[in-house]
């Protein structure tokens, strides 16, 4: 029997991913690729909604792909590709935009937040239709599940609505996907400001652990992480956000239960605990970083892997697109 399909992606919006991306997304993708037929994209077309220069975008796209692989996404098992390599994405996005309500798209909270932040002059139509392109990504592959962070849930709901609308108007063309929302406990916060989510686009990078940071730099950032004056290593998100965040990272990377870690550090200071965590971080990310840098050392080979995977993606995507064109009444080209 064939496996259910999974789709997810990330924008190539930075030179390095941060450990929130690793713990909150990549570790799950890596596990899920065993039981699902998985498609993972580097969504470079989406990244065009933010200003960047062409050489940077190209570099970030390769770097993001290399980090997926280094983190354990296997391009021989899962389809790992660059979104713009598969033309069907932009084509289906156009079709879907014609069945998306203007009001419906206007309700997307990410658009409202981002456009308020950028200002009217810097807000593009592409930013507005971002969720429609995301729907195309998902629907092209007859996706069953979409693992994403909470902030993307509304976009997956829109995707479901569009799939159902198309299917009922023109006939069954799409699988209606289910969002799989990451657990709150997998959310990582900024080491310097534990009230804010760790993010690639944070203003200051002092509290961000980058996957590609030198291990000594990561260790130093852990040692300098904000804690509190209570002195006990205990999980209490409300009153001890800094220490709780470090515990979440520790537990996620070691696979150990929180109480066992609290016990191990009972009666010892934060210094000891941070030292322990710094060792865990260096041990986990040292090999990931080394592998990513090795892949980036041979861009021709990396490009070849991405091209082969794009070909696999093309096959599935083209079949869906052809069916959609047919159903919606576009004249077939002989
Ligand atoms: P940007 O700042 O460019 O928006 P980001 O680092 O916030 O980037 P996204 O590209 O929005 O990350 O997200 C990619 C994936 O990583 C998503 O699945 C998201 O839920 C997950 N992710 C991002 N940041 C964190 C975090 N701090 N903790 C847990 N998961 C995270
Ligand atoms: N918008 C998502 C990235 C993304 C995505 C997708 C995720 C683009 N297309 C399809 C899942 C499925 C983000 O910013 N994290």
pLDDT digits (tens, 9 = 90+) for 51-109: 889 999 999 999 999 999 999 999 999 999 999 999 999 999 999 999 999 999 999 99
Please state, rounded to an integer, the average pLDDT across all residues of the chain. Answer: 96
Ligand 2 pocket list (CB less than 6 A): 7-11, 43, 46, 134, 137-138, 146, 148, 152
Residue 26 Cα to ligand 2 midpoint, Å, equals 13
Ligand nearest to the CA of 156: 2
Residue 21 Cα to ligand 1 midpoint, Å, equals 5
- pLDDT over 90 for what percent of the chain? 93
Residue 133 Cα to ligand 2 midpoint, Å, equals 9
299-305: average pLDDT = 98
| Ligand 2 atom nearest 43 alpha carbon | 8
pTM above 0.85, yes or no: yes
Residue 314 backbone dihedrals phi, psi, to 5 degrees: -50, -45
The three-state secondary structure class of 18 is strand
Catalytic residues, which ones? 114, 197, 200
d(CA 311, CA 85): 9
pLDDT, tens only, 24-35: 999 999 999 999
User: Is any ligand 1 atom within 6 A of the Cβ of residue 21?
Assistant: yes
Task: Report the run of H or E that residue 260 belongs to, with start and end.
Answer: helix 258-264
Question: Any idea what the Cα angle at residue 57 is, between residues 56 and 62, rounded to 5°?
Answer: 100
Nearest CA-CA partner of 245 in 198, 181, 183, 286: 198
pLDDT, tens only, 171-226: 999 999 999 998 766 799 999 999 999 998 888 899 999 999 999 999 999 999 99
Nearest CA-CA partner of 276 in 256, 294, 293: 256
Specify the DSSP class assigned to residue 205: S
Reading the block at residue 258, the tokens are 């929180």
d(CA 274, CA 96): 49
Ligand nearest to the CA of 136: 2
Contact 30, 256 (CB under 8 A): no
Nearest CA-CA partner of 38 in 67, 9, 11: 9
pLDDT, tens only, 105-132: 999 999 999 999 989 888 999 999 999 9
Question: Any idea what the Cα angle at residue 143 is, between residues 139 and 145, rounded to 5°?
Answer: 125
Residue 172 Cα to ligand 1 midpoint, Å, equals 33
What integer pLDDT is reported at residue 201 of this predicted model?
85
| Ligand 1 atom nearest 11 alpha carbon | 10
User: Is any ligand 1 atom within 6 A of the Cβ of residue 13?
Assistant: yes
User: Is any ligand 1 atom within 6 A of the Cβ of residue 198?
Assistant: yes
| Ligand 2 atom nearest 133 alpha carbon | 9
């Amino acid at each position: 029997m064939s496996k259910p399909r999974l789709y997810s992606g990330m924008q190539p919006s930075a030179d390095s991913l941060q450990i929130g991306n690793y713990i909150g997304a990549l570790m799950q993708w890596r596990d899920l690729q065993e039981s699902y037929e998985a498609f993972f994209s580097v969504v470079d077309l989406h990244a065009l909604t933010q200003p960047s220069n062409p050489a940077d975008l190209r570099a970030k796209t390769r770097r993001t792909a290399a980090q997926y692989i280094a983190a354990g996404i296997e391009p021989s098992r899962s389809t790992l590709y660059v979104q713009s390599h598969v033309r069907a994405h932009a084509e289906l996005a156009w079709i879907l935009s014609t069945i998306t309500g203007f009001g419906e798209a206007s309700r997307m909270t990410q658009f409202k937040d981002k456009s308020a932040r950028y200002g009217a002059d810097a807000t593009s139509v592409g930013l507005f239709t971002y969720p429609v392109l995301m729907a195309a990504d998902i629907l092209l592959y007859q996706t069953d599940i979409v693992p994403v962070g909470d902030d993307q849930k509304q976009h997956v709901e829109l995707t479901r609505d569009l799939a159902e609308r198309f299917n009922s108007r023109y006939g069954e063309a799409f699988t209606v996907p289910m969002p799989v929302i990451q657990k709150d406990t997998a959310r990582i916060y900024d080491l310097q400001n534990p009230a804010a989510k760790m993010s690639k686009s944070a203003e200051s990078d002092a509290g961000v652990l980058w996957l590609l940071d030198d291990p000594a730099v990561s260790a130093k950032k852990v040692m300098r992480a904000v804690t509190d004056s209570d002195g006990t290593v205990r999980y209490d998100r409300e009153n001890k956000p800094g220490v709780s965040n470090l515990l979440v990272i520790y537990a996620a990377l070691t696979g150990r239960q929180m109480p066992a870690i609290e016990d191990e550090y009972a009666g010892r200071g934060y210094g000891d605990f941070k030292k322990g965590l710094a060792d865990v971080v260096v041990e986990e990310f040292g090999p990931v970083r080394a592998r990513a840098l090795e892949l980036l050392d041979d861009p021709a080979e990396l490009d070849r892997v991405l091209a082969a995977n794009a070909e696999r993606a093309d096959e599935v995507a083209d079949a869906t697109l052809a069916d959609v064109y047919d159903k919606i009444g576009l004249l077939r080209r002989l």
